[in-house]
Amino acid sequence: MTSFWKANQRRLAPWLFLAPGLLMFAVYVIIPIFQSMWISFYDWDGLGEAKWIGTANYVELTTDPNMVTSFKNNIIWLVLYMLAVPAGLFIAIFLNQTVGGIRLYKSLFFFPFVISQVVVGLIFSWFYAPNFGLFYKVIEFFTGQGVAILADPGLVTYGIIAAGLWPQIAYVMILYLTGLNNVAPDQVEAARLDGAKGWRMLWYVILPQLRPATFIAVVVTVIGALRSFDLVSIMTNGGPFGSSRVLSYYMYEKALSEYGYRMGYGAAIAVVLFAIMMIFISGFIWKMWRDETER
């Protein structure tokens, strides 16, 4: 026994250290993924007997108009959420200076990320609220006719994304601020001597050095956009008449909400969402793998 341990200690030790984490990851992430896939082939109300129906849930998904709405909204989310990256960069550069009290300003800008998404959702729903919301009042003042963003099927998704961007920009900003701390001063100095300034300085000298921060910022923003659930739930419940649904919320509605008694169908939506996420996740993993091996 001891000789076996002695002979293989170096090979075994890492696995022993990894074991608790791997076990948790398997129980709470890997196994549920396969369980969801399994459930998606059943017709099950979550209480009674589950009935095997093969791919019927997926077939139904292809003709479900709500699925189309959710999918379209998810894409709008993905695209517009990316605005958080340049906006966060801009604010980070703006705040990256040595003025008295800059720490206070930085923390004020970071503040929206600290408060819970639920609170953000509530603040914005009051902001948009018809008849008394600030946004509604301002629009009414200028145009004479207020716009209730959350009641308008065409605008509601944009209204929720705006609410989501507020904390997301703060998050990206903090990533870039730490990145900017690591920008090599000698390179900036050298570029300056060569006459670079303004945009050229930013594009050719600063940004390349911020690549790791940009990578992380894009990753968290993509994931943030795809799992956008809390804001939709708090601000509109997917309404009006389902026009602000996203995949994650539709999954919840079908499987777990008041009128949802279809675990299988909800699981099928989850699998589709997982497949979409997998596209991005594999991309990220591939990039990280490449960076690691190149070194």
Applying CB under 8 A, the residues found at the interface with another protein are 45-48, 60, 63, 65, 128-131, 148-151, 153, 236-237, 239-242, 253, 256-262
Rounded least distance, CB 89 to another protein, Å: 34
Pick 49 or 294: Cβ nearer another protein: 49
Pick 64 or 218: Cβ nearer another protein: 64
Pick 106 or 137: Cβ nearer another protein: 137
Contact (Cβ atoms closer than 8 angstroms) between residue 243 and residue 235: no
Rounded least distance, CB 235 to another protein, Å: 9
Pick 63 or 97: Cβ nearer another protein: 63
Rounded least distance, CB 40 to another protein, Å: 17
* Alpha helices (H) along 31-64: 31-39, 56-62
Backbone angles phi, psi at 43, to 5 degrees: -105, 110
Pick 145 or 293: Cβ nearer another protein: 145
Rounded least distance, CB 126 to another protein, Å: 11
Pick 153 or 208: Cβ nearer another protein: 153
Contact (Cβ atoms closer than 8 angstroms) between residue 159 and residue 80: no
Tell me how far apart the alpha carbons of residues 22 and 28 are, in angstroms, rounded to a whole number: 10
Rounded least distance, CB 68 to another protein, Å: 11
CA–CA distance from 22 to each of 15, 16, 19, 27, 274 (Å)? 9, 10, 5, 8, 20
Concatenating the DSSP letter of every residue in 82-111 gives TTHHHHHHHHHHHH-S--TTHHHHHHHHHH
Rounded least distance, CB 174 to another protein, Å: 33
Identify residue 95 by its one-letter amino acid code: L
284 class by beta-carbon count within 10 Å (0-12 exposed, 13-18 middle, 19+ buried)? middle
Rounded least distance, CB 256 to another protein, Å: 6
Angle value at C-alpha 107, between 106 and 108, nearest 5 degrees: 90
Q: Which two tokens stand for residue 29?
A: 């992430």
Pick 150 or 205: Cβ nearer another protein: 150
